[in-house]
Each structure stands twice: as C-alpha cells, then as structure tokens.
C-alpha cells in the first residue's frame, strides 16, 4: 500500500485538504500491531513511554490494549491518570526531581523509580512509605544514535553506579520496603538485538550482586526502552525473534518501556510546499512546517524519509527542504534527492509518531498543528490546531506598566 494511504484506505491528501497543513496523522492499526508484536515476542509487561507521544487518544487506546505507562514528570502522571491508567500501572522515573515533583508522585499513588539514593531519602522525608520501590542503575554500557541519547557512564546524568545502588537498596530494606525492582535505561533507538541481550545479562548480574550484598529478592526487572525503528533507507528493523531468549531470562518479571517502537512509524507529518527557490547552485523547497514542530533533524541530525504525494514526476532533483523559522538550522532535509517539487505539493514526512509533537514549541510565534487519528477506515481529530490565543494564554500585563 502506498505511504500516502493509511489505515484501510484513508488518503493522506484528502486529510490534508480537509484539515489543512501542517498536520500530524496517526495510524492506530500500526500502533496496535507494534504493541502486540513486542509484547508477545518478549512476554513482558509493557509500560508505554509517554514522552514519545502524549496524545491522550493514543494513551487511552494503549491502555485499553493492556499497556501500563512510563512517566518522567508530574505532567506525564497527570496525562496517564486522565487517560484512565491505574496508578499501580504507572512507573515514575524522574531525574533530579524537586520535592514538589516527588510529592506529586507520592500523592498520585504511582510506583516511583529512583535515580539516586538522595532522591529516595527526600521522598522518605516527605512521608513516603512504599511497599515496592525501584532504583535506576547505570550498568556502564550504552548505545545510542547520538551522544545525547547514550545514557550510560560517568558522562550520563542518569542512574547510579552499582556500589551506590547497594546502599540505596540497603536503606529501602531498613525502612520496611518488602518488594524491589531494578531498572536500567542505557540507550535510544537501537536496532541491534545483541545490545538488548547484553543489557539483560548486565542487569541480571547487577541484581544478583545487590541481592547477595543486601539480602533481598528483586522481583521486577525493567530493561527500559531503546527499542528502535529504521529511519534511513536500507536500515533493517529490530529483529524481535532474536529477543525471544529474554523470556524467562530473569528470576522475576520482565518489564519494558517502548515508546518510539510502538508509535514511531505510525505517525505521518503532512506539510505543503510554500515556495521553491533557486539560490546559486542550491534549490530550497520551503514548506509550512518548521523546527518548532519537527526538532529532531536540528537537535540530533536525525533523518526522516520524505515522500511526495500526488502526481508522480520522473525527474529527480537535489534539494534542501526547509521550514519558515528564522534560523538557518531550520532544515528538515539537506541535499535530499526528491521527485521534482512545485508549490502546493503535499509532502509526507515519515516516522513522525515519536518525539515530534511532544518536542514541539511555539518558537517564532508559530502554532502547533492539528492531530488526526485513523483506525481502519475511520478518522477523527484528536487534537485541534492551535490558534493565536495560545500565545498569550496565562500571561498578564502588570498594572505598573
């Protein structure tokens, strides 16, 4: 099926015409397929990582499929509970949390995963009396497509080294905790199954050491996320069959936190060509979406495949596809071979389901796009396009001005 048709025959060009551009479209059928595939392959408890895409229609859909939620802030706790997740199915993994952040999690009744012993101590001082507690461990090994998403070692701000973890678990035991989990999140968008098997081995070894040192039994083993999707042509998808050995690998229950793997390839960012400009030897294709919506290429140098919908053209040209933001870094694609493009054409940016809207902003006074959900042959708005009132919402002019 053409990438310009999603679900059971819903045409993206028609959606662009009906709802305008820029427009984000999510295919719930793909989301369901991805969720079931990873859950069944690993036999794990799935906690969807809300940071990837926090659209409450998607959250509600995943909750109905049986997913739990991985959250990183009070705001994400709020979204999870609003979407119907039970507090017991929400794991709160924050970093350098304020006391207010900690208190919000305690009051919400979610399970807390502590990034440091000190954060746990502050939670105890706030009246925290958990039966179950998790600690995030830095196993010293990580892989990511960019240094900013490699989450292990002394240069990573996350987690605690093994000796510090032993002291954290020892304190938890002393204050009456009876159930224990261990967590490790070491990288992002990894396509090599061998990486996950290595993390599992390191995590099991760390748990065994902690158990012997502290005299506890760790029941829950959370390998975090990092399950990748191919972005570039020629990249092979993650082979879930190679991860079957993770079933029953631990002496307790396996938890995972996929985000991108579930929603990434289910998202389509539709944008209209506003201008084609020749400047010396360069051809710039201007579009109506910028880095305020799609930040990943500017932040990480990330690649997104882009296709042209509508009438085909055999001529191929090399262009830079750029947005309307007043920054020269506002380039979605550089030196990209594309079919010949003209003003008014609709382009579709693929793999836009993860870390697109969730990383968007109103920079340059630009508005965030609408979001449309597609399921089979049905579709509906799930978030309305912003209007200019959003730019002044919550602001006041002091009387002394």
Q: How many helices (H) and strands (E) does the chain have?
A: 10, 19
Q: What is the DSSP letter of 227?
A: B
User: For residue 176, what are its two tokens?
Assistant: 């009456």
User: For residue 245, what are its two tokens?
Assistant: 């050995």
Nearest to 12 by CA among 331, 271, 393: 271
E strands, 325-377, are 331-339, 346-349, 370-375
Cα separation of 331 and 310, whole Å?
23
User: For residue 382, what are its two tokens?
Assistant: 């799930």
What does each C-alpha distance from 397 to 18, 243, 365, 366, 387 come to in angstroms? 38, 57, 18, 22, 20
Write phi, then psi, for 318 (nearest 5 degrees): -100, 125
Q: What is the DSSP letter of 366?
A: P
Give the burial string for 349-386 (b: 16+ CB within 10 Å, else e): bbbbbbbbbbbbeeeeebbbbbbbbbbeeebeebbebb
Check 1, 326, 392, 401 and give the catalytic one.
326
| 326 flagged as catalytic | yes
Q: Which long-range CB contacts under 8 A does 325-329 form with residues at least 24 apart?
A: 325/290, 325/291, 325/292, 325/363, 325/364, 325/366, 326/364, 327/291, 327/298, 329/291, 329/298
Is omega for the bond preceding 22 within 30 degrees of 0, making it cis? yes
Which residues, at least 6 apart from 280, have a Cβ–Cβ distance to it below 8 Å? none
What does each C-alpha distance from 352 to 53, 155, 285, 286 come to in angstroms? 10, 29, 19, 19
Active-site residue list: 326
């Amino acid at each position: 099926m053409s990438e310009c048709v999603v679900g059971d025959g819903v045409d993206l060009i028609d959606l662009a015409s009906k709802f305008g551009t820029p427009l984000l479209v999510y295919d719930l059928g793909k989301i369901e397929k991805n969720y079931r595939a990873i859950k069944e392959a690993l036999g794990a408890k799935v906690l969807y990582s809300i940071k990837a895409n926090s659209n409450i229609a998607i959250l509600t859909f995943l909750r109905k499929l049986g997913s739990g939620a991985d959250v990183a802030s009070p705001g994400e706790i709020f979204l999870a509970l609003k979407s119907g997740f039970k507090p017991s199915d929400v794991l709160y993994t924050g970093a350098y949390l304020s006391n207010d952040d900690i208190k919000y999690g305690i009051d919400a009744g979610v399970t807390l995963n502590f990034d440091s012993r000190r954060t746990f101590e502050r939670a105890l001082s706030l009246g925290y009396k958990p039966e179950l507690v998790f600690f995030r461990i830095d196993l010293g090994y990580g892989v990511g497509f960019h240094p900013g998403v490699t989450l292990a070692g002394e240069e990573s701000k996350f987690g605690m080294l093994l000796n510090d973890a032993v002291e954290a678990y020892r304190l938890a035991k002393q204050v009456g905790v009876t159930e224990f989990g261990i967590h490790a999140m070491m990288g992002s968008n990894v396509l090599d199954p061998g990486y996950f098997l290595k993390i599992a081995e390191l995590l099991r070894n760390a748990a065994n050491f902690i158990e012997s040192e502290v005299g506890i039994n760790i029941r829950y083993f959370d390998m975090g996320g990092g399950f990748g999707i191919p972005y570039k042509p020629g990249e092979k998808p993650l082979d879930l069959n190679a991860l079957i050995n993770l079933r029953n690998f631990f002496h307790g229950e396996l938890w995972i936190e996929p985000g991108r793997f579930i929603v990434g390839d289910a998202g389509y960012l539709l944008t209209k060509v506003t201008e084609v400009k020749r400047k010396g030897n360069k051809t710039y294709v201007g579009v109506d979406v910028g880095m305020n919506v799609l930040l990943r290429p500017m932040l990480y140098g990330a690649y997104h495949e882009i296709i042209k919908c509508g009438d085909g053209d055999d001529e191929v040209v090399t262009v830079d596809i750029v947005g309307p933001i007043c920054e020269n870094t506002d380039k979605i694609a550089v030196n990209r071979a594309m079919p010949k493009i003209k003003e008014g054409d609709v382009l579709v940016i693929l793999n836009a389901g993860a870390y697109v809207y969730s990383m968007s902003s109103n920079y340059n006074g630009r508005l965030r796009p609408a979001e449309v959900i597609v399921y089979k042959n049905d579709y509906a708005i799930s978030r309305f396009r912003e209007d200019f009132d959003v730019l002044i919402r919550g602001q006041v002019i002091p009387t002394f001005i």
